[in-house]
Structure 1
Amino acid sequence: MKKYIYTTLICLTILSCKNTKKTNGKINVVTTTSMITDLVKNIAGNQVNIQGLMGSGVDPHLYKASEGDVTKLANADLIFYNGLHLEGKLVEVFEKMHSKKTKTIAIADALDKNTLISSEYFASNYDPHIWFNADYWILATQFVANKLSEAIPEQKPTFQDNATKYINQLKALKTKLETQITTLPKEKRILVTAHDAFNYFGKSFQFEVVGLQGISTATEAGVQDVQKLAAFIIEKKVKAIFVESSVPKRTIEALQAAVKSKNHDVKIGGSLYSDALGNANTVEGTYIGMFEYNVNTIVNALK
């Protein structure tokens, strides 16, 4: 009931808000996660007004729109979101917005669903952490450029040129990451994290990935989950496990304690960026910087 009332109030507020549109002669674009904000900025440049809802360290699985977010959504011409139920508590809001003249665009629509990792435990039946496949992000780049070009046809050359440049950067990133990861023997490529955010990463770079929580942080890890994973770490002689910037570290600390209680040691290898980028105006505050940081942290801790 509380969920229904919360969603209804937001939707009514959005529908009743005065839509200002075109601030300073530019259309208003709202993005959800920090990864998507960074992507749109790379393509749109200063040709649109971009406002991101979620900043550094924000968990999109549990995110609820604030009053300020409602205003941003109400005044948006375009809304880019991940899709695949990543922004679980905002899905109904986006669906309701079809009744007003605001276009909502799911980044996941750029991808062939047959290539996605499925999950019988998650509402969408697909793992939503698509940004950890660089090839997917390349497809998303062209997809966003096309959508922006449809919205502002006169700026199409700029958007397409920016997309081409960014795609080249993403291809260079993938090559760099592959080179770094080859320094880590395959038998050591076991990534244990707070929740299952890195399955696309694992598939791309031949890592066995195990998350203490499920694909969504809305699921809680129980005592049996901790004990089972502790036994796995001991059996596989895993040197390091990792916390995540958008997930409380207590779950991984509990896992570390469980391993220690069995007279084994495993270190915390560092904090990885999973569902959000780093702080704004830092290297890790960009998609490329985040990915490089994660891979360096993982490889150095597991060597």
Structure 2
Amino acid sequence: MPAHTFDVPFVLGMMRLHEAPEMHQTTHLADWIEARIEQGLHWFDHADIYGNGVCETLFGQALRARPNLAKRLRVVTKASIANDNPAVNVGKAKHCSIKHYNASPAYLNKAIDNALERLGVERIEHFLIHRPDLLMNAETTGRVLDDAIEAGKIGAAGISNHLPSQWRRLQNAMHHPLRANQIELSISHNAPLFDGSFDDLCTDCHSPMAWSPLAGGKLMQGDVSNVLNRMATEQNSTPNALALAWLRTLPNRPTPVVGSVKQERITEMLNGPEALPRETWYALLEAARGHCVA
């Protein structure tokens, strides 16, 4: 597998796309997508649960309105979380009485077909199982993912929020390798670096994606904020840009998934180094943990 599956400084997460009223205007969204591509940001992260299908639908409408865009971008999407959102009922064939996980062949096969239809793309570059289904039959689930790859519907299968034992059970039942592996990871949420799960990810040659790379704003509080602000001033950068560079410094170069759709914030996060010097990296880790390494 190539060292950098995601050849961008960060992937654009579409989770809140439906919350921005201006993005419901097809021309505006098409302009926004094109502007991001021009910035070198051509990877977009979706999931069927985002707006209960509305985010993928809006995105697909923009691509259909401007057909040249689809060939210039790449899409990641995820499925397996089944829930009922009373505020947004689009994209679900029926309501479910309780939130649960579903990685059954029928559910995933339909999820892939529905995502292709909503997004209006010929192929989903990476299709991830969003959360581990504790009732998953690895053999049948693995087979449906292999079949989707061989049919050209998806470029590769992957996982999100899985334990090493869970993804390895699935991998053992598949012919094609799992590629992308999306986990929660940031300066403040650094547990995967100490519990062995990130090392397992690297050992299995996955391309890591880091969701919530800015820890939902927590990095702008306390000691981490002080260190980030000082370093940003010294390096003529910004705290958020340095926080993303901290992630990219790790082995296998995790690609952050940034959830903002604000143009100025996205541009600001591009104003940073690709990676950080070792002492700088450890200084930020120390600020987050409240103590130096042993």
Q: With structure 2 as the length reference, what TM-score do the two structures score?
A: 0.26
As a proportion of its length, which structure holds more helix? 1
Q: Which structure has the larger Rg over C-alpha atoms? A: 1
